[in-house]
Amino acid sequence: MAELHGTGAPSSNGHRRRGSLERLRAELPVAAMSATGALAVRLQELTGRDVIDIESLQEIVALGYRAAEVRSAHRGGRYEVDDFGFDPEFTNAVLPVFRLLYKRYWRVETTGIEVVPRSGGALLVSNHAGVLPFDGAMIEVAVHDHVDRFARALIANWFGGLPMLSWFLRRTGQTLGHPDDSLRLLKRGELVLVFPEGVRGTGKPFSERYRLRRFGRGGFVQVALRSGVPIIPISVVGSEEIYPMIGDAGVIARLVGMPYFAITPTWPWLGPLGLVPLPSKWRIQFHDMVRTDDIGAEAADDPAEVMRISDQVRDTIQAGLVSGLAERRGIFRG
């Protein structure tokens, strides 16, 4: 509504009304925050335990504030996005949602993240699971909160054709899985996150969980060799259980041009409610980096060398999955 006033004729009346509206908007979150805080304390006194989690509450309020900030900063179009469409301000504004999922919902435990360099390019390589690419989002939260950098994930091409989602993914720094894109990003010294399994990984049935699929044709190794950046293997445990895929309606998938159409115990039976992922306990393990700068860019044209490194990375991730699973006592308790 405020934007409508902004573009309209600047009558004095309109100005006054906008002023009061804006003041109300600025004060509303503070009032809501203090009211909810009071409620939380009251409930704690009554029941003797944390009914409303103050920390999560802060995240939610931070989200509201950042969203308002970004909206006002973005009015008039005065903001910067990079060539890939990445908008850091917007990403910072939506990050609290994923941080809540990371901390509270999936209670992600991250180990070995010190290997991620604080500057310069690196290729993060992870296993891929869970129908929707939440694993990418969680890795990005981990990297952002521990190393204060944005990892740029390469997404499957068909995401680019989806309304809303393609927009959101680009805006938050993701780009399409085109070899030129990853080379460009790495040469600019960015962290690039790839899932060599691709849709073969996200679309695999529940019975085959944590069994790594083929790692493409080693394209990710070629990119790393050409740009001379290290490869950091990542094992994610827990992502396989968020949407237990018990079936694949290939007919529907073909009809709408998707690589698979997942059927889970809740989707599509419960409608949009079936899209709520299960709260499994997650472990993300960053492994020691595989250096490529001492091998040389010309090795990218040597298929034997490429496949050797690809297999090495794959074995590291698979071993990480096995050890992560061995440690896990229950899917949801962790």
Partner 1 sequence: MTARRVLITGVSRFWGGQLALRLEAERSVERIIAVDTQSPAVDLKRTEFLRADIRHGLIGKVLSAASIDTVVHAGLIVDPRRAPARVVHETNVIGTMNLLAACSAGDSPVRKLVVKSSTAIYGASPEDPSLWSEHMRRSAAAGDAFTRDLDEVEDYVSDFRVRKPEAVVTLLRFANVLGPEHDTPFARLFDLPAVPTVFGFDPRLQFLHVDDAVAVLERAVVDEKHGTFNVAGSGIVLLSQAIAMLGKLDLPVLPFAGSDLAMSLLNRVLPLGFPPHLTRLLQYGRVVDTSLLAQAFPGLIAHSTAETVDAHARERRVRDIADAQRRRVRHEAEMEEFLRGGATKTAAANGHRPRRSAGTKAKKTASRTPRRPVRRRGDG
**Cβ neighbours around 108 below 10 Å, total:** 22
Closest to partner 1 by CB, 84 or 206: 84
Tell me how far apart the alpha carbons of residues 150 and 84 are, in angstroms, rounded to a whole number. Answer: 13
Tell me how far apart the alpha carbons of residues 204 and 262 are, in angstroms, rounded to a whole number. Answer: 9
Closest to partner 1 by CB, 108 or 193: 193
Choose the stretch contacting partner 1; rule: CB under 8 A; options: 24-32, 76-84, 102-110, 137-145: 76-84
Task: Please pick, from the candidates 18, 66, 74, 209, the single residue that binds partner 1 as defined by CB under 8 A.
Answer: 74
Three-state secondary structure string covering 190-245: CEEEECCCCHHHHCCCHHHCCCCCCCCCCHHHHHHHHHCCCEEEEEEECHHHCCCC
**Cβ neighbours around 140 below 10 Å, total:** 25
Choose the stretch contacting partner 1; rule: CB under 8 A; options: 73-81, 192-200, 232-240, 271-279: 73-81
Tell me how far apart the alpha carbons of residues 89 and 142 are, in angstroms, rounded to a whole number. Answer: 18
- Which of 68, 130, 62, 50 has its CA nearest to residue 97? 62
Task: Please pick, from the candidates 67, 81, 295, 307, the single residue that binds partner 1 as defined by CB under 8 A.
Answer: 81
The answer to whether 253 touches 261, Cβ cutoff 8 Å, is yes
Task: Please pick, from the candidates 167, 211, 246, 254, the single residue that binds partner 1 as defined by CB under 8 A.
Answer: 167
Task: Please pick, from the candidates 1, 9, 46, 164, the single residue that binds partner 1 as defined by CB under 8 A.
Answer: 164
Closest to partner 1 by CB, 184 or 328: 184
Q: Does 160 bind partner 1 (CB under 8 A)?
A: yes
CB of 220 to partner 1, least distance (A): 16
- Residue 248 parent element (H or E): strand 247-248
Task: Please pick, from the candidates 45, 148, 180, 294, the single residue that binds partner 1 as defined by CB under 8 A.
Answer: 180
Q: Does 272 bind partner 1 (CB under 8 A)?
A: no
Choose the stretch contacting partner 1; rule: CB under 8 A; options: 61-69, 170-178, 286-294, 317-325: 170-178
Task: Please pick, from the candidates 181, 216, 249, 297, the single residue that binds partner 1 as defined by CB under 8 A.
Answer: 181
What is the CA 104 to chain-centroid distance, rounded?
15
Going residue by residue from 5 to 44, which x/- string records binding to partner 1, judged by CB under 8 A? --x-------------------------------------
Q: What is the dihedral of CA 47, 50, 51, 54, to 10 degrees?
A: 140
Residues that bind partner 1 (CB under 8 A): 3, 7, 74-85, 157-164, 166-167, 170-171, 175-176, 178, 180-181, 184
